[in-house]
Amino acid sequence: MDFLIESLEHELSDAFEVKNRDSLHRCVLMLANNMVTKAEYSQETARMHEDFRALLTEMHARFDAVDKHFDAVNQRFEERNQRFEALQTQMDKHFEAVNQRFEEQNQRFEALQTQMDRRFEEQNKRFDDMNDRFTHMFRFMSLGFTLLAVLITVLNFL
């Protein structure tokens, strides 16, 4: 280090006009004290490289932990998705069964409705038949009473 200080003083005094030798010496000392030696620089960079390696190792470890966590979350999601799909399939089957029962009941209701319509039509036919019989009977009785009245009137005049 002393050699460096003496070399700098000599070179600067040759290059510039020196008014104060002490001032030049202090300036060179400040420069030399603030300079870093190659060995110190190598040690510092080696320490920084080690710190970076440790940091990278820790980052990789944390990334692996995060990846494992995401994989676990993804697996749980897949399991829940499978359960949901199974539940959805079960619900679809249930709704299909309910729908089929509804269709069966609807068919029974339609058959019952058809049967009731047929019975009402038969009932209407019977009422129409009875109405026709009563109409014929009333005409026959009216004709009979009319003939009886005419006979009684004719017999009264005779």
Alpha-carbon distance of 134 to 146, in angstroms, equals 18
Alpha-carbon distance of 45 to 51, in angstroms, equals 10
pLDDT in tens, 8-50: 777 787 777 888 888 888 888 887 777 767 778 888 899 999 9
Number of residues assigned to the chain:
158
pTM: 0.42
Alpha-carbon distance of 22 to 138, in angstroms, equals 160
